[in-house]
Amino acid sequence: MRLARRLFAWFERRVSDLALIAAVGMFLVLVLGATVTSTGSGEGCGADWPMCHGKPYPPLDREAIIEWTHRFVTSVEGFFLFGASIGAWRLRRRIPLMRLLAPLTVFTLLLQSGMGAWAVKYSQSSTVLALHFGISLTAFATTVLMWRALREDGAVETRPAPSAGFRAAAWAAIALVYVVAYSGAYMRHSDAQLACTTWPLCNGEVAPGFSGAIGVAFGHRLAALGAVVAIGLLAWWASKLRDARPDLYALNVAALILVLAQAASGAVLIWTRISLYSALLHAALMALLFVCLAESCRRVLTGSRERRGHGSLAAASPAD
């Protein structure tokens, strides 16, 4: 019993390190998933899952190796993620946010893996396939948030909570970015990425309409433009809170830099006719942007709950 207690104590001290490894692993899983999509390797192992053409290893074929590698890394990541989630769950009384993050992290990984297997065994529509990227983003974000919360270990500095308007704007921004991510994934799976062959105009037009593949590509660009504007306004609003909440200011400025880089990488995608490296850069930047906004939402959420009574920033609004 004494040895078991020591092991559990050691595990609890190391759970934040395990969560960091799991977060890095989820990022790798996400990038590998983008590689599978960008190289058309989704059927690299045929209709077999978890086997690859009836074997536990892939044949010497580029698409099979890419698909098998994605599956293998996802499987290994599962062990790290489950371990981190179990450790985080054990700390749920000390860190209440773990009641949400630990189960959500496991659920999203299982859902992601299940949808991947489902897509291999049975053909899916572009609408369903596009959900896979959004779920991967959520799994990555929850893992990072779990690591951040474990690092803090429930010790939050006393800082005034932002206004309800700022909190709503933060959640609206991440929701809009999710729409951008989903529409981009749908565009890829529906082969509409090059429906607009020029950038920033679409085939030389400001408003080409919303019909067919051009409408899908143009709709994605409009959503991306909306995200740039929304995050820019949020960063400006956060600058008014810079003295009281430098953490929110830094996160939202970082989000603004990332969304601008994301937009630029979208242009590179078109100019390079969807090269593999530009596609991977686009996916990686989206993942980092989503996590940055998710961390901002976590700090807004915990701030509004744990710092109640320590003051408010309600007066610092865009109207000031």
Residues 78 and 164 in one domain: no
pLDDT in tens, 102-144: 999 889 888 887 777 777 666 677 888 888 888 889 999 999 9
Residue 40 CA to residue 59 CA, distance in Å, equals: 17
Task: Identify whether 57 is part of a domain.
Answer: yes
Residues 146 and 169 in one domain: no
Q: Is 173 exposed, middle or buried (0-12, 13-18, 19+ CB in 10 A)?
A: buried
What amino acid occupies position 175? Answer: A
The model's confidence at residue 156, banded by pLDDT at 50, 70 and 90, is: low
Residues 45 and 182 in one domain: no
pLDDT at 186 over 90: yes
Task: Identify whether 320 is part of a domain.
Answer: no
User: Which residues face 205 on adjacent strands?
Assistant: 202
Residues 103 and 201 in one domain: no
Residues 164 and 258 in one domain: yes
pLDDT in tens, 213-248: 999 999 999 999 999 999 999 999 999 999 889 999
Domain count, the chain: 2
pLDDT at 318 over 90: no
> What pLDDT is stored for residue 16 in this prediction?
87
Task: Identify whether 249 is part of a domain.
Answer: yes
Task: Identify whether 290 is part of a domain.
Answer: yes
Task: Identify whether 302 is part of a domain.
Answer: yes
> Of the ranges 1-5, 59-63, 309-313, which is most confident?
59-63
Task: Identify whether 318 is part of a domain.
Answer: no
For residue 177, what are the domain limits? 157-313
Residue 145 CA to residue 124 CA, distance in Å, equals: 31
Mean pLDDT of 309-317: 42
Domain termination residue (choose one: 139, 155, 171): 155
Residues 139 and 162 in one domain: no
Residues 143 and 161 in one domain: no
Tokens at 190, concatenated: 């529906």
pLDDT at 291 over 80: yes
Residues 150 and 3 in one domain: yes
Domain termination residue (choose one: 104, 135, 155): 155
Residues 122 and 22 in one domain: yes
Residues 87 and 174 in one domain: no
Domain termination residue (choose one: 115, 134, 155): 155
> What pLDDT is stored for residue 1 in this prediction?
62
Residues 200 and 78 in one domain: no
Cβ distance 176 to 293 under 8 Å?
A: no
The model's confidence at residue 284, banded by pLDDT at 50, 70 and 90, is: very high
Which residues are tagged catalytic? 67
Task: Identify whether 297 is part of a domain.
Answer: yes
Residues 119 and 184 in one domain: no
- Between the CA of residue 124 and those of 32, 49, 68, 119, 258, what are the distances in Å? 20, 15, 20, 6, 32
> What pLDDT is stored for residue 206 in this prediction?
92
Task: Identify whether 259 is part of a domain.
Answer: yes
Mean pLDDT of 51-78: 90
Q: How many residues does the chain have?
A: 320
3-state SS string over 262-290?
HHHHHHHHHHCCCCHHHHHHHHHHHHHHH
